[in-house]
Every structure is written in structure tokens, then in C-alpha cells.
Structure 1
Amino acid sequence: MLEQEMEMDVGDPVKASNLLRLIKQLLLEKAYDGVRMLFQSAQESERNTQLLPHIAMELYHDVCSENLTDEVNSQEPELFDCCDELLKLLAKYAPLQELMLELMERLEESSSINVFGAYLRALQVVLQRQGRDKPQAVEWSLQSIVTRLKELPLPQYLSEGYDEAQARLIEQNEQVEDLLAHYITVGLFRQPLRDEILQDLQPPFQTFRDCGLNRRNIFTCFFIQLLGRPLALLEMSHVKKDLTRTYVQQVTKSLTQDATQFLGDPFYLLNLVEQRARWQRKLDPSKGVYEMSCRNVFLIEEKLPLHAVAMYYHSLFVGNQLPPNAPRIYAPLFLFETIVYLAEVLLRQQEPPLQYCGLRLVEHLLSTLQDSVPTSSLQLDVHKRFCEALCKIVGYSPQVSLRQLGLHVLRQFILAFDDHGKYLILKNLLGTLQHDGLMGYLGGMYKDLVNKALEESGPLPEVFSGKLFQEMLLLCVCVLPHDVKSDLLLHSDRLCHALNILRYFAVRDKKDVTGFWQALPEIEKELLDPLGKALNFSMAHYKAYKERVEKGQSASDDELMQRQLNMLAVNISNSGMAGGDADSKLPDIGRQEKLDVLASSITSLETLQSLYLRASEIIEQSTRLRRIANPSNA
């Protein structure tokens, strides 16, 4: 070995310079086979390759980088291919660090898949030479690949959300095809490197895993990072019912399997996810990293983004990529509680495809639970954050299918807990939400839970009777925040649900098993009495206003009309369907438009009034029957 190094040191610079000139001359003459013969011929190869270390960087700058362009590839493809082969060859002999920096820069700036592939093949050789040395340099090289993939242009609708019809055509989009070609090229790049590292992982394994900066961990983070954006935007299993094997699935499967092989235990990251998402660690301003994370690369967001980790577990569970030999010692409850952290991360992303993945991930984990989730689990703050993110999607997402799936998952999530857990979640949501439709739905859900308990034999659980029931009932039905002056149209959905709940318990619970009749006096005071007055006032006010409009006695900027239109604009804005300022004054509208708005408002009030009268009638009838059955309570 020492003799070879001495031979390299005393190599003839003149011969090396002559070789460089010869290569350039052959390229000018388009004698590409002649260039190849210099390094493939049995007679020439050994002598010429020994000279390459002296001219490798000159060859790179003067020949390779000059010709590895889209223009050359288009006009002189044979020259491009020859320089591509030269670059891969000189990567074996050029100064490692100097060439690595050049390749990183070129990869980030590559203008096409052809140029990207040429530099990536050279980087593959460089990283094989690098081996276990200088893992930081390896990490920077891989990061340049991630940076390039993230900068590739993509259709706008991928970020905005797409339907089934669009999903069927996604892989035919030119920009998506280019992205997938880049991913497939990266797959070819990482194969030999992956195999080398896996050979190093043969037994005996370390008892405690080294989580520091080493080649295995760097590549693990690299594989998982690639599962995040932009690949995650192409996850379309939520809209394609008859999904065949797509390129996206193939790429996702390959990356997932590689990451799993490097981790050994696919559940290994879950404990680290809990550390990152649950416990706040101090930030070291001088280093720009979290406390102690310098000893664990999996704790650093820049190295391992949580949304990418979430997509890894989405692939394992929803994509059925969990290996058969995965450990079976993890309890379903532990997996559920930990995965909720990742699902919440996905739900808080802006792109609907990622939100879908978060919902599907939780849906799958809920299906694996064999026992009810205990109330003690709610001590984890993540459940509150998850519900907040989920309710935001259910209430305001512009994607109808996303709202529907979100509502289904919310229901299944609540039902997964024991009775007391269900009660606490519903009570917290009803006490904090501002979306009337969703609050009405949750109130109806609590009513259904009580109904189910009433149909079962034995005493009612504590949360469905007595004081706790009465507290929840008041949250479900007392929805007049401003008493008689409340805007009934703004709260019409929840008021309808509330009146239906009152009608149900007045008929169903004549014996007051739940405590409904004990709560009725307060309900009458807080809801029924002021609601009756508010309905009469609102109905008279709208009808009088309609008459003024019909007679042409209403100014175009009438305050009531402006408020109604502003409320409509706010609802549209909250649903994500409008980009304007909902608080700004809307333009004047014509007489007929005003009459249409007023007619719709009056119809809504009449529907609400009908429900109110029917509920009041049923409560009055049930009250008389109770007095007849129990004269002592009269």
C-alpha cells in the first residue's frame, strides 16, 4: 500500500497533462469510443487511471461540468453520455472533499433529470469512497438531494387538494412524472450504499443503539425525509377506491422498507416522537438545537421532520408495510397514544393530502384497539390538541370529503374511550368550540350515548345521570349567549339540535332517571323563555323589514341587511371558499336580492319556531302526565 502511494506521489505530471489534452482533443473530434478505450483497454487502462488523480479536478471543470448540460444533452447526446461516464470514473480518483462540494452544488442547481442523474451517479461513487469517515459531509451531500427534490415545480392543486378524477390523472402530469423520475433515480443511487451499510449491521448488534451522527442514522433520516414533502402530496389512497400499483406506491414502499431495515425495530422512533412532541426541551441558542439533541439525530426537526415520521408510520400501518417480524410486545394503547402525536402534526399541515393521511392513520389505530381507552389517557395534552385540529378541519375545510372523513374519525375517536372519557371529551369540546353545526352534532352524540345507556339493564353510569348529566345537558341546549338579543339565525343549527334533545328526553325519561326534569326549570329560564320572546321579536322585525323593502322604504345600506350579508361572508370565508376580507363593507344589493335574503331568513325562523312550539307542547304534555302519575310531586 505504501509503495502504491509513493508511486502516486512521484507520478509524471507531464504524462497526466498530455492525457488531459488527449481527452479534450478526442472529444473535439467526437471520438467518444476513443475516450472510452483510454480507460477500458487492458493496455491503456492501468497507466491512464494512475494519472487521473493529477488531472481529476481539471477534467471535471474543463470537460464534465462544461458538457453536462441540457443543451449538450439535447444537441449532442453522445458527448453528454461520454462526459457522464468520465465524471463517474474521475469520482474514484478526485480529491474527496473538493469534488463532494462541487457535486452538492451541482445537484441543487441541476436543471433536469438527466443532469441530476449524472451528478448523482458521481456522488454515489464519492460516498462509497468516503465510507464511515466524516459523517457530517455525508449528511450535507444527502441534504442537497432533499433540497433539489423540494424545489421541483409541482401542480398547485396538489397543495390545495384534489378529487378522485384528478387523482386518476396525477401520475400523467408532466411535473409529477419528473418528480417521480427524480425519486426513482435517487432509488438507484441509494441501493449500493444501502447494501454496504446493511452488511455492517450484521450481528453482533450493540445492546444500546448509538443515536449520534453516523452513516446508518444519517441514511435512516434521509429515507424518512424523502417520505415527507413533496412525495406525501401524492398520497392518493384516500380518493382512489380501485387503486392499482402506482409509481408513488412503489417509491413509498421502497423507502419505507429501507428505513425499516436500518431501524431494525420499526417502532423505535415512537419513544423519540413522544420526547419531541410531549416534553419541551430547552433550546441552546449558540448551537441552534434542542438540549441533548446533539447526541441524538432523531430529535432534530431539520434532520428528521415530524411530518415525515408521520408519513413513515402512515406507510407502515395504512399502507400495510409493517414487516412480519415486527415486535409484538407493543400494546395497542401505547401505539395509539403515541401515534396521535404524529396524526396531530399531519392535521395541522396546510395541505389536504397530509390532513387525509393524519385521519387515515388515526382511523387505522382506532380499529386495532380491543379495549376502551381509559380516562387516564386524557392526562396527555395531545388529545386536546388533536381534537382542536380535527374540529377545525371538520368545521372549516373546503374539502367536503375531508370534512366527512374528519367527522367520522372524530366520532370514532370519542367512542374509543370509556364512558367517563367520552363525557370529558364532549364536555370540553362543547365548552370551547364556536362552530354551531359541530356543537349541535356533539350534543346529539351525547344524547345517543344516554339513550344507549337507558336501553341497557342496570343503573345508569354516573356520567349519564344526576349532576354530571345536568351539567352536560345545559351545555348542549342552553345556547343563547345574549339572551333575548341573541342572533337566532347565527345559532339556528345548534338551536334545532337543542330543541330536538329536549323533545327526546321529555318523552323518553318520564321517570327522571337521568335528572332531566330537575334541570328543566333552569333550561326554561336560560333557553325556552328567552327563545320564545326572541322568536316573536325576530319574526316581527324581519317581516316588518320585508314590508319596507317591498314598498321601497329601505335604504340600501340598511344595518340589518349588512349584518346578514356579512354573516354569510364570514361563513364562506371560514369554509375556505373566499379569499376576501369578510369584515369589509359589502357593496349595495338590489331590491330583489334583499327580498331573497329576507325570505330565506324568515323561512329559517319559521322552522325554528315550529320546533320550539312542538318541543314546548311535548314538555307541557309530559309534565301533566308526570303530575298525574306522581301527585305528590305536583
Structure 2
Amino acid sequence: MALNQLSDVVQRCQAIKDENFSPEDFDIFLNSGRTCIEQGDSAQVLSILVDEKNKNLVRCMGWNLLGPVVKILLNKEDKNLPHCHAILSCLLEVCSPKELLLGFLEQVEEADSGSITETVTLLLKPLQTVLLRLGMKKASSVGMALSTLLAQLSRLPVPITKEQEEDDIFGLCCCCTALLQFVKPFVEEIKEVVKDNNRNIKDNELRVELLKFCMKCLSEPLLEVQLKDPDTLEKSPLRDFASEILMILSSIGESLPDLLSLNVQRRRKVPGFLEEEVRYPKESLACMSHLIFVDHIAVDIFPAVFSPVFVLQCNMEYIELLLSKTEESRLQKGLELYEKSLIRVEDNSLPVDLLELKTFFSVPQNLVKVMTLCPDQTLVKNERGMLKTSHHAGVEGYIIKNIKNQIDFSLKLGNGNEWFMGTNLLPLLRLVLCLPHGPETDLLQNMDRIMESLNLLRYLLLRDKEWENETGIWTELYKIEDTFLKPLRTGLNMSKAHYEAELKSTKENKKISSKDSKMSICSVTVGNENLPNMTPEMQLQVLESAIFTFDLIESVLVRIEEIIEAKERPPS
């Protein structure tokens, strides 16, 4: 039935001149042709398509048969495979390349998640052939094809382990490798233009499309990928893909050093119809920087003349961006890039004017947030490292405050996190609930840390009942009293007595000095250190402020002591 309908419409159309086929002819050809292919009559369909008398008909309508042909090829039905391959070759040769392009991209877009790899690898070569047929007018079509392909590739899971990359069950590695072959002739075309030193190379439309392709690949999938070291995985398709993307950038006239320093030179104007931020997305440049400095990709084409300080300055904006994200892959890359950028910088070599840059302030802040707000085992260990090495009461106080927030979140129903409860939490509490130098600790200098530690302890004693003891605080309490509360009480008593004596002495000196001069300058020694010269009124303010701070610390300490003394067990 379908074969008869197809034969009838073909015979009727052979007599039509100037390709003035009716909509009805189109519908009958499409439906009967599709049915014939699906029913296994592909040999008869092929004989019709290769008949020279039907060339005009095939040129106008043939591309509509792409769907059923591709379906047979994907299903790999042995009986019809040779004929369907021949049909596809015929369509590639005769049909309009613009219509074929739309037909192929439609097949790519309609691929379900389970057939993305097979569809992409099957259609890349025919799609490349169609694009090459477009000649000098292919740039926008190449861009549309690359965008469609990458959109589908973004749906494929990214391999995490060495075994997953080797097995490539979901086909991302296979698709990436095939994609490199797909863009190769277009890259070669632009390389020739670059060799000719064409002044308008920056505005070359095909070059711009390839640049957009590389930038998109850097942001996805490469920003998601943790590349394996060659010693771990000798043959890595994803590592090869990353290397080739950077090589393509270099081949089409992009300087990797210029791209790296783009954020430092933001004021320069880039010619072309795309704005700089669109042409060079910051996430893509961050990934490129990570590939170069952490994964050591393309090091042979990247000059080694840049100073470590300049590299750090260039990378800080990328580090800030990565550490501001919540995705684990981006946080990990941000930490790695920060480490590699810092490790080459010599101590005391950073110019002071760098501190005026926003990123040199925001990156440490983001780093603290990552270490305290991400409940990941590795990052919790880093948290402990920060408490041990920060040596800054403000930073330590911020960390302790966020530890409290994480514990509070974990204690809520359904949010349990083993790293912020019980035995896993205790080592962290021991680092927090202590005085750095026992009773001799400078309470004023460490005020932020001490107050946050006391607030954390007060919260734990009120929130975690003794008979529940989810955090382990009640088991640890006797140690905390010995290492934190008692030394703090001793330190407070000594500090208050010392400062009250100084306050009394300063008041007496003020009375004496006021007889001689209305604005006398005096000095006070506190803790074996001279306070800066100032008026008696200023000295009094400093001392009174210190005593107020001690009173504030003591008020929280007294409340904690009251909670411990008044602890009650539930009635039996």
C-alpha cells in the first residue's frame, strides 16, 4: 500500500516542472516514504531516490526521510542497514544542505538521554559534510550545529573515577573525541587565515563561532571534570580533549597569556560584534587557568616569563569566582588553583597595593565560608587546619560562629551530619573550646574568638540536653572546664585586677597632671607594653573599654557556670 502510494506520487511529480510540487505531494511522499522504510522496503525507496528522473523531487523532498533512516541506523537492523546507509549518502549528495542541516540538528535535539551518544557519533560525519557544502556562508550554521551538539553533550554524566572514564558507559569521552574530529576542517580553515596575518581575523565569523565553541567546552563539560594525572590514567580522552581545546584557541589566533590576563586588562576594547564579557566568559577563563596551572595542560605553548605575583593577580578573580560557587567541582578547582598560585609566590613579595584589589579581600572571605559552611569530610579537616594556622582572632571567631551554625543545622530533624555530631565533632570542639596560651592569653586580642567560643558552649549546653548528648558535649564537659573555663576565669580575674589598678592609677595621675596642664600627654604600661602616647582622657577611655570587654566576657562565662550548676536530669 505505502509502496504503491510512493510510486504514484513519484510518477506524478516527474511531470511537474520547476519543482512546483503541491503540499499534498509533500505529505504523501513523506508519509509513504517513512512507512516504506519502517516496513523494510528501503531497497525500493533507494531505487527511487537514485533514479536520475527523480532528482528534482529528491532535492526538494528527500531530506524529510532523514528521520526514519536515522532511526533504522540507530537500531542497527542488519537487513536494512546497507540500503539505509546508501539512502543517507544519496540524500547528502542531492538534497539542499540547508534543509539537511535542519534535519540533522532536529534528529540530534530529539535524541533521548539513552541514545545521545549513538545519535551524535552517527551524525557528526554527515553533518560535517553538509556544513562543508555550504562553502563560505557556513559560519552561522557551524555555530548553530556546535551549540546543538554541546547542549546534548551537557546532558551526559561526567566520569568521576578513573574506572568510569575508562569504561565510558555514558559515552561522554567518545563524543568529545568525535567532536574534535568534527571541528578539525573548520579549525584548519581559520589557521590558514591566521597564517596570512589577516588584520580582520578577530571579526572572522567562523573564528568567532570556534571561539564560542571552545569557551563553551571549557565551562561545560571541562569545568565539571577532574582530570586524572598521566601516572594514574595513561590514556585519558578527557585530558586529550582539554589539551586540544587549548590548542584550538591558540590555532585560531587567541593568545593564552592574553586570555589569562584579560581580567587585569578589562579596560581594553575588543573589536567585534560580541561584547568582551560574552566573548570571553569568566567561568571559561577560570577553567582555562586551572588547566594550565593545576593540570599543566598546554604548558609547552604557555610562556614561563610571567612572575608568580602577576600570575596570582591574574588568577585571583578566577579563584574568587570558583570559591563563590556551591558545586563541589568548582570549589575543588578554586582551592587547587589558589594553592598552585600561592605556592610559587615568595614570602614578603606581594606589593602592598595589591591589597587594594577587591579579590585579595574577598578570596580569603570565600575561603573561610567554604571551610565552615560545606559539611564535607575533607573540608572539615581543612577547617581544623584553619583554626590551627589562621592566628587571627577575627577569622577564628568567624569560623567558630559558622561551626555553631552547622551544628545547629545538624541537630534539626532530618539534617543529621556525622561530622558535626558525637565523636567526630569532639576533636573540633577541643580546638575551639580552649585558650591559646592558658590563663596568660591576651583576652583583648583574642576577644572575638573567646566570645564566639563561649556562645558556642552556651548554645550546646542549652540545646543538647544532658540525657540526649547528641554532640558529646556533656561527656567532654569536665575536660572543657579544665582547659577552657577555669583558665579563662583565672585570666579574667588577673586581667580585670590589672586594668582596674591601671585605671585607678591613671585617674590619680590625671588629677595631678591637670594642675600643670589642661592637655597633658602621658603613657600607660599594660602587660609590659606601652600604650601609645595619648591624653589622660583617651587613656581612661581605653582602660574603661577594656574593663567593659572583660565584664562582657564574664557575663557569658557566669551564665555558662550557672547552666552547669543547675543541670537537671528528667524525672525517672
| Shorter-normalised TM range | 0.5 to 0.7
Task: State the match for 1:388 in structure 2.
Answer: 365
| Other structure's SS at 1:435 match | helix
Measure, in 1, the Cα distance between the counterparts of 2:566 and 2:384: 40
Measure, in 2, the Cα distance between the counterparts of 1:198 and 1:12: 48
| Cα distance, 1:525–1:513 mapped onto 2, change above 3 Å | closer
Task: State the match for 1:260 in structure 2.
Answer: 250
| Cα distance, 1:178–1:486 mapped onto 2, change above 3 Å | closer
| Other structure's SS at 2:567 match | helix
Task: State the match for 1:617 in structure 2.
Answer: none
Query: What is the RMSD of the two structures over their aligned residues, measured on CA atoms?
Result: 5.2
Task: State the match for 1:476 in structure 2.
Answer: 446
Native 8 Å contact 1:393 1:403 kept in 2: no
| Cα distance, 1:528–1:411 mapped onto 2, change above 3 Å | closer
CA distances 1:159-189 after superposition (whole Å, capped 9, x unpaired)? xxxxxxx734433676x53222222221221
Measure, in 2, the Cα distance between the counterparts of 1:369 and 1:340: 13
Task: State the match for 1:352 in structure 2.
Answer: 328
2:214 alignment partner, one of 220, 223, 227:
223
| Cα distance, 1:92–1:527 mapped onto 2, change above 3 Å | farther
| Cα distance, 1:436–1:396 mapped onto 2, change above 3 Å | closer
2:137 alignment partner, one of 133, 138, 141:
133
Shift of 1:478: 4.3
177-186 vs 534-543, greater mean Cα deviation: 534-543
Verify: 1:398 aligned to 2:375, yes or no: yes
CA distances 1:378-408 after superposition (whole Å, capped 9, x unpaired)? 2111223322322211111122224546887
Task: State the match for 2:401 in structure 1.
Answer: 435
Native 8 Å contact 1:478 1:523 kept in 2: no
| Other structure's SS at 1:324 match | helix
Measure, in 2, the Cα distance between the counterparts of 1:149 and 1:384: 37
| Cα distance, 1:186–1:294 mapped onto 2, change above 3 Å | same
Within a 5 Å distance, the mapping from 1:43-122 to structure 2 comes to 55-62=58-65, 64-69=66-71, 73-74=74-75, 76-77=77-78, 79-80=80-81, 82-84=83-85, 86-87=87-88, 90-91=91-92, 93-111=94-112, 112=115, 113-122=117-126
Measure, in 1, the Cα distance between the counterparts of 2:208 and 2:233: 33
| Other structure's SS at 2:148 match | helix
1:115 corresponds to which letter in structure 2? Answer: T
Verify: 1:167 aligned to 2:158, yes or no: no
CA distances 1:542-569 after superposition (whole Å, capped 9, x unpaired)? 33232xx2445xxxxxxxxxxxxxxxxx
Task: State the match for 2:191 in structure 1.
Answer: 198
Task: State the match for 1:270 in structure 2.
Answer: 260
Native 8 Å contact 2:69 2:88 kept in 1: no
1:106 corresponds to which letter in structure 2? Answer: Q
| Cα distance, 1:474–1:532 mapped onto 2, change above 3 Å | closer
Shift of 1:135: 3.0
Shift of 1:377: 0.7
Q: Which has the higher contact order (CA 8 A, sep 6+)?
A: 1
| Cα distance, 1:104–1:522 mapped onto 2, change above 3 Å | farther
Within a 5 Å distance, the mapping from 1:325-364 to structure 2 comes to 325-364=301-340
Native 8 Å contact 1:480 1:527 kept in 2: no
Native 8 Å contact 2:227 2:239 kept in 1: no
Measure, in 1, the Cα distance between the counterparts of 2:120 and 2:366: 39
Shift of 1:490: 4.6
| Other structure's SS at 2:164 match | helix
Measure, in 2, the Cα distance between the counterparts of 1:489 and 1:306: 44
Shift of 1:267: 1.8
CA distances 1:324-348 after superposition (whole Å, capped 9, x unpaired)? 2434454432321121111222222
| Other structure's SS at 1:272 match | coil
| Other structure's SS at 2:300 match | coil
1:221 corresponds to which letter in structure 2? Answer: K
| Cα distance, 1:28–1:535 mapped onto 2, change above 3 Å | closer
Q: Which has the larger radius of gyration?
A: 2
Shift of 1:192: 2.5
Native 8 Å contact 2:42 2:83 kept in 1: no
Measure, in 2, the Cα distance between the counterparts of 1:15 and 1:104: 28
Task: State the match for 1:585 in structure 2.
Answer: none
Verify: 1:250 aligned to 2:240, yes or no: yes
| Other structure's SS at 2:80 match | helix
Shift of 1:356: 0.8
Measure, in 1, the Cα distance between the counterparts of 2:548 and 2:450: 8
Native 8 Å contact 1:84 1:118 kept in 2: no
Measure, in 2, the Cα distance between the counterparts of 1:85 and 1:403: 61
CA distances 1:101-144 after superposition (whole Å, capped 9, x unpaired)? 33333222223222222332222123223344363333222111
| Cα distance, 1:411–1:369 mapped onto 2, change above 3 Å | farther
| Other structure's SS at 2:296 match | coil
Measure, in 1, the Cα distance between the counterparts of 2:334 and 2:386: 10
Shift of 1:14: 8.7
| Cα distance, 1:269–1:523 mapped onto 2, change above 3 Å | same
Native 8 Å contact 1:224 1:308 kept in 2: yes
Task: State the match for 1:571 in structure 2.
Answer: none
Task: State the match for 1:569 in structure 2.
Answer: none
| Cα distance, 1:475–1:86 mapped onto 2, change above 3 Å | farther
| Other structure's SS at 2:566 match | helix
Verify: 1:232 aligned to 2:204, yes or no: no
Measure, in 2, the Cα distance between the counterparts of 1:433 and 1:210: 51
Shift of 1:368: 2.7
Measure, in 1, the Cα distance between the counterparts of 2:303 and 2:189: 25
| Other structure's SS at 2:170 match | helix
Shift of 1:54: 5.7
Structure 2 alignment gaps of length 5 or more:
1-13, 22-28, 405-427, 437-441, 461-472, 474-479, 496-525, 533-538
Percent of residue pairs identical: 18
Shift of 1:262: 2.4
| Cα distance, 1:312–1:388 mapped onto 2, change above 3 Å | same
Shift of 1:222: 0.5
Verify: 1:313 aligned to 2:283, yes or no: no
Verify: 1:543 aligned to 2:568, yes or no: no
CA distances 1:308-364 after superposition (whole Å, capped 9, x unpaired)? 221122112211123424344544323211211112222223321121111111211
User: May I ask how many residue pairs the two structures share in their alignment?
Assistant: 452
Shift of 1:68: 0.6
